Structure 1
């Protein structure tokens, strides 16, 4: 559409409403009006669709993020996500909606590899994130792309007993006693349960015991386990709602959250304990497919902010932000002998030794007659 043609169309439109024709012609001689018409012509020549009504919307489009996480983080994200959505709307004018999936870390990992199009994964252990990387969905070096080596939440292992602690549970060794029923999740499906297994193992080898002693101890503990729930939330339900077991091995954060919801069972934080480090990562292939990298990366960075770390702490996770950790120091007791998975051989080593098909956990299950 040419410039003169556009002017003629506009003249006709305005003359139809009874405007004095001579005044209208003089009005169209004004430089600013002619410039405006020229800009309209330029826009139309590039395919812009302009109508007299309604006005073209200049609001940015919506964005969507799919978050896949392990079961016990839901309470934190119930607080964090609405705040991020409000902040992002304020900063960019863009509406963000979330699709969320929670479950056992191992099960969630398989779901992502099998086609669940997560944009963000927050899993119980780096081993699961590495499995997604090995499937080609996450670029190598994901750990170094975020603060704190991408560890966004922490916890330790807690032992929860029945009211009055009738079995006299005081620490790890009591779990191997005859007549003590222990509830813990299945390490083949639950990241929490792998941490539990490693804490049991480390309670021996990190205090001077050898591997044979550790194996004997862990075998006896699992002999006392009547059922293996799929994840930490199911394990809590078995203990709290179904009333099974004398002691529950679980995340400290899950125990603290249960207490906020009215549970009053006593618990022990063993002074020989493992640092449960939970990483977050962007699932690069899916983000590139969904073309939402900007908002996804903003979200994972937000998880390390003091605001989000405070939300993690309020539902029982040990914050990774040092300033927030100092504010909540009275809530989280200091651990005198706190070890890490790297001190037990790292995830590659522990996977091969303990959790691979046919490895030690399977051997223990066979030894106690469960396979």
Structure 2
């Protein structure tokens, strides 16, 4: 249950709360000493103090996320803002930025002052941590180890599936063109690559066969690499490129909700696509928005917010919820579901496959020959 996730997180965070409470006492004394000069004096003399926002009628948060979460956040944000207004008599507005997860990560590292990031993979949050913007151990300060939305990879075909594509290995058939995003700029593209690799491993061929398979796919069957998942979708549907598109299951379900007819398969061998959320510590302290930013992150794990994620195609993070009749019909169980943990976690996966000069670059070099 979502409540169990939150309760467990609160218990594990008790020590952190006590430490923060003691720090808060000291900060309260400092703020009280400045209160005679009014709100502007407090903000000027100690701009890093988080409670500054509590003295304002309006507070603004900047949310930076990967492209395919926009529909969910568009539904969730008004609900949170209404709840916060009722409980704190304070108006909350959001600046929102969406794009490829890798590009969004670089933007935050380069100076986009996000208060909250919701990204396609934990590796991207770790990069922001390494830049000194997020405190180490961020995933332990958030319910469910930071994973707030999840999906699986879908194989989308042309109407009637004329190439008879049913599994990942079918993508290697002669004449099949596959549309996917670039792992260098898109989080989903890394998941797609890992879905291919995972499928080859589970076929029993080992790493040598897996390397041959993904090399074949990217050198002979991928005509272009789009910047992010949304561009890949546009290339397939709007521009008519390719015989198959690899994308998040949630993108397919969202398209269906908009009245589009989509032919797709959820392969029996798949990868669990886990998307983390985190508060950007340095920025919320600078903006004085920590309290409301943390409240928003916690709200994303609530039944209300998770219902909105489920409406637009994200699989419930609560496994018991996915057992309901409605959700079981919408999200068919995957027979063999792999995880990034199976391959050593994102640090190991990044180093092996996606760092400069690693396996993906080696594959691309072969394609250019």
Tell me if the contact between 1:353 and 1:359 (Cα under 8 Å) persists in the aligned partners: yes
Partner residue, 1:317 = 314
TM-score by length of 1: 0.83
**Structure 2 residue corresponding to 1:98, chosen from 94, 100, 109:** 94
Deviations 1:274-303 (A, max 9, x none): 000000000000000001111000000000
Equivalent-residue separation in structure 2 for 1:47 and 1:338 (angstroms) = 59
Following superposition, the deviation at residue 168 of structure 1 comes to: 0.7
Shift of 1:329: 2.0
What secondary structure sits across from 1:330 in the alignment?
Answer: helix
Partners of 2:187 and 2:157 lie apart in 1 by: 22
In structure 2, the partner of 1:197 is 193
Q: Which runs of 5+ in 1 are unaligned?
A: 1-44, 50-57
Contact 2:62–2:94 (CA under 8 A) maintained in structure 1: yes
- Can you list the C-alpha shifts for 1:119-148, whole angstroms capped at 9, x where unaligned? 000000000000000000000000111111
Asked whether the 8 Å contact 2:255–2:262 carries over to 1, the reply is no
Other-structure match for 2:282 = 285
- 1:192–1:250 CA contact under 8 A, matched in 2: yes
Contact 1:65–1:99 (CA under 8 A) maintained in structure 2:
yes
Structure with more relative contact order (C-alpha pairs < 8 Å, separation 6 or more): 2
Task: Supply the distance in 2 between the matched residues of 1:364 and 1:316 (Cα, whole angstroms).
Answer: 32
Q: Secondary structure at the match of 2:330?
A: coil
- 2:147 paired with 1:151: yes
SS at match of 1:117: coil
CA distance in 2, matches of 1:224, 1:47: 67
Distance in 2 of aligned mates of 1:312 and 1:168:
31
- Give SS of 2:329's match: coil
For 2:239, the equivalent position in structure 1 comes to 242
Q: Does 1:139 align with 2:135?
A: yes
> In the alignment, which residue of structure 1 is the partner of 2:66?
70
Aligned ranges for residues 51-62 of structure 1 at < 5 Å? 60-62=56-58
How many angstroms apart in 2 are the aligned matches of 1:316 and 1:48?
47
Secondary structure in 1 matching 2:328: coil
Q: Per the alignment, do residues 60 and 285 of structure 1 end up closer, same or farther by CA in structure 2, a change over 3 Å counting?
A: closer
Aligned length: 318
**CA distance in structure 2 between the aligned counterparts of 1:48 and 1:124, rounded to whole angstroms:** 42
Cα offset for 1:264?
1.0
Q: Structure 1's 310 and 48: CA in aligned 2 closer, same or farther, altered over 3 A?
A: closer
- Residue of structure 2 equivalent to 1:85: 81
SS in 2 for 1:273: strand
Equivalences for residues 181-260 of structure 1 within 5 A: 181-222=177-218, 223-260=220-257
How far did residue 323 of structure 1 move? 4.7
Match among 290, 293, 296 for residue 293 of structure 2: 296
Partner Cα distance (1:224, 1:170) in 2: 16
Backbone CA RMSD of aligned residues:
1.7
CA shift in 2, pair 1:72/1:46, >3 Å: closer
- Whether the aligned pair in 2 keeps the contact of 1:79 and 1:311 (CA below 8 Å) is yes
Say if 1:128 and 1:46 are closer, same or farther in 2 by CA, change over 3 A.
closer
- Of 164, 172, 176, which residue of structure 2 is paired with 1:168? 164
- Give the distance between the partners of 1:66 and 1:192, measured in 2 at CA: 22
Superposed counterparts of 1:7-26, under 5 Å: none
Q: Distance in 2 between matches of 1:48 and 1:349?
A: 51
Q: Return the structure number with greater helix share.
A: 2
> How far off its partner does 1:263 sit?
1.9
Question: What TM-score, normalized to structure 2?
Answer: 0.84
Judge conservation of contact 1:184–1:228 (CA < 8 Å) in 2.
yes
Q: Aligned in 2, Cα 1:201/1:89: closer, same or farther, shift over 3 Å?
A: same
